[in-house]
Amino acid sequence: MVLSANDKSNVKAVFGKIGGQAGDLGGEALDRLFITYPQTKTYFPHFDLSHGSAQIKAHGKKVADALVEAANHVDDIAGALSKLSDLHAQKLRVDPVNFKLLGHCFLVVVAIHFPSLLTPEVHASLDKFVCAVGTVLTAKYR
């Protein structure tokens, strides 16, 4: 899926509005991921995964920072996330299906905190964006 100029502009606008809250949103998305899709917890046996744990918040912020980075370099997401892509391919090897799940949870969190922002068109753009990020992160898997 290719991001149109409109998509890119929508993505930048969303992240512009989200601003400094991105880290919190990332934490919330991750929290929801573990509660809604318990199988995703299998990637974090070393974490305290209780609702709202400090580790979830910290990791959520990492995830959000990557999304912000991708949004800031929306013309070259593959370039911006190249190291992260290597990491996921070589070390983490998170099954590709899980990126969809996290992407969905991120959209839910945006819908909760910024409902008026998430018009159907912006929703489409953001959905494409998180798909694109997932694609980049799994691109080197094989």
Partner 1 sequence: MEGKEEEIREKVISRCKYLKGPVKTAVVPRLLIVYPWTQRFFDNFGNLSSATAIIGNPKVRAHGKKVLTSFGEAVKNLDNIKTTFSKLSELHCEKLHVDPENFRLLGDILIIVLAAHFGRDFNPACQATWQKLVGVVAHALAYKYH
CB of 57 to partner 1, least distance (A): 14
Give 45 or 120: the residue with its C-beta nearer to partner 1.
120
CB of 12 to partner 1, least distance (A): 19
CB of 114 to partner 1, least distance (A): 9
3-state class (DSSP) for residue 3: coil
Helix and strand tally (H, E) in the chain?
Answer: 7, 0
Give 92 or 111: the residue with its C-beta nearer to partner 1.
111
Give 87 or 124: the residue with its C-beta nearer to partner 1.
124
> What is the contact surface with partner 1 in residues (CB under 8 A)?
31-32, 35-37, 51, 104-105, 107-109, 111-113, 115, 118-121, 123-124, 127
What distances in angstroms separate CA 115 from CA 36, 44, 120, 135, one per listed residue?
21, 30, 11, 26
Give 31 or 88: the residue with its C-beta nearer to partner 1.
31
Q: Answer yes or no: are the C-beta atoms of 3 and 128 closer than 8 Å.
A: yes
Alpha-carbon torsion (126, 127, 130, 131), positive or negative: negative
Interhelix angle 5-18/22-36, rounded to 10 degrees, is 100
CB of 112 to partner 1, least distance (A): 5
